[in-house]
Amino acid sequence: MKLPIYMDCHATTPVDPGVLEAMLPFLREHFGNAASRTHSFGWVAEEAVDRARVQVAELLGGEAREVVFTCGATESIFLGLCGAARARREHGAHVITTAIEHKAVLGSCAWLETQGFEVTTVGVDRRGIVDPDEIRAALRPDTVLVAVMAANNEIGTLQPLAEIGALCRARGAVFHSDAAQAAGKVSLDVGEIGCGLMSLSAHKLYGPAGIGALFIAPGVTLAPLLHGGAQERGLRPGTVPVALAVGFAAAAEVARREMAREAQRLTAYCDRFLRRLRRARPDLKVNGTLEARLPGYLNLRFPGIQAEDLLATVPELMLATGAACASGGAGPSPVLRALGLSAEEVAESIRISLGRFTTEAELDVVLERLTAAIARLESA
């Protein structure tokens, strides 16, 4: 068995070998600038970016003209939320979001507050799911924007997007969904969801880091936040990284092709792993719900065992206690706290995510080493 074993696909995923193959020609011979109009290097690059835009749009059930490439989901989210809020300022200054959003959303909302917007934060239930009725109750005539993520990055729970989308549509609020975790893992259709904006990141779906996308539905206008170029409809000025766009698109294609099969496999692996872990540790608790979540995502709690100690005992297992971007002394995970867990319970929680390249043999090793480590900590 090759160590270490990577089980932190919430944080990032390895680039799929097919994706890398698709990218290489655009780093070697086809290195042109997609905005060069006077020679074939430019045309080849432009055509590749156009094709990439179609493929990324297809992953969401959208149209190529509705996709703007950015450097990642954080940028897409900031552009989407702040761009839409500012463009709709005269309609009102109220924004709704949830307590379990990624830092990128919460940070954008905090920035909007400094710009005079009022933000209402809706909670979640014990499973980590937003009640659409709470969104309904929070909607006001001056609500311009609602931000609810598609799937959470710590517990993997999926949200009732279509219901929320319908509410927003009826009330004239723009609905943004952060789909950085969900895209490529469960099927998403922007039309069915009724979202005006959706944010994506390539490195969460076996594509390269450094590129993301913002889906913008027809009729949703954004005030640009960056100025200095006409690329990406003037919303994202700067030279488009062609190889990254090609890699993102290739990753979207693989995801679309493999999604159903992969979900089935990861769910089966996960079920078996949990069954065996439960047998070894009957006190095991699952944070969130197993009912509506991304395949292969687990957030577990071993009562009486400090997660930090546990992870330190098994450095050969790449696991995490919470969001990568919140790690490093940010205090107990706000996501787990929002589920109603106490600070002590949060400190006992770890997240494990299986990915495309996870094998059953790896899971066997994780099971064995984790249970041995827990037993060691208990007897210490």
* Closest residue to ligand PLP, based on beta-carbon distance: 72
Binding residues with ligand PLP: total (CB under 6 A) = 13
Site string for ligand PLP, 106-145 (x = CB under 6 A): ----------------------------------------
The DSSP letter of residue 205 is T
Q: For 179-301, where are the alpha helices, taking DSSP H only?
A: 190-193, 242-280
Of 83-91, 124-132, 176-184, 354-362, the segment contacting ligand PLP by CB under 6 A is 176-184
**Residue 97 makes contact with ligand PLP by CB under 6 A:** no
By DSSP bridging, strand 67-70 and strand 5-6 are unpaired
Interface with ligand PLP, residue 159, by CB under 6 A: no
Q: Is 149 near ligand PLP (CB under 6 A)? A: yes
CB atoms within 10 A of CB 241: 19
Of 80 and 92, which has the nearer Cβ to ligand PLP? 80
Least gap, CB of 303 to ligand PLP (angstroms): 27
DSSP 308-366: HHHHHH-TTEE-BSS-GGGTTT--S-HHHHHTT--HHHHTTEEEEE--TT--HHHHHHH
Among 53, 88, 204, 281, binds ligand PLP (CB under 6 A): 204
User: Could you give the count of Cα atoms lying within 13 Å of 314 in the half-sphere of its Cβ?
Assistant: 28
Q: Is 102 in the site for ligand PLP (CB under 6 A)?
A: yes
Taking CB under 6 A as the criterion, the residue among 95, 168, 180, 307 binding ligand PLP is 180
109 noted as active-site residue: no
Q: Which of residues 35-74 bind ligand PLP (CB under 6 A)?
A: 72-74
Quote the least distance from Cβ 204 to ligand PLP, whole Å. 5
Q: Which residues pair with 96 in a beta bridge?
A: 120, 146
Asked if 362 touches ligand PLP (CB under 6 A), the answer is no
Distance from C-alpha of 26 to C-alpha of 158, rounded to nearest angstrom: 36
Per rule CB under 6 A, is residue 294 in the interface with ligand PLP? no
Q: How far apart are CA 92 and CA 85, in angstroms?
A: 9
Instruction: Rule CB under 6 A: say whether 353 interacts with ligand PLP.
Output: no
* 164 and 192 Cβ atoms separated by less than 8 Å: no
Tell me which stretch binds ligand PLP (CB under 6 A): 25-33, 114-122, 174-182, 279-287. Answer: 174-182
Q: Please, what is the minimum distance in Å from the beta carbon of residue 252 to ligand PLP?
A: 14
Distance in Å, CB of 7 to ligand PLP, minimum: 16
Per-residue burial over 263-300, b if 16 or more Cβ lie within 10 Å, else e, is: bebbbebbeebbeebeeebeeeeebbbeebbbbbbbbb
One of 108, 181, 287, 358 touching ligand PLP (CB under 6 A): 181
Torsion of CA 286, 287, 293, 297, to 10 degrees: -70
| Residue ranges that bind ligand PLP, judged by CB under 6 A | 72-74, 102, 104, 149, 153, 178, 180-181, 201, 204, 212
Q: Which amino acids are annotated catalytic?
A: 325
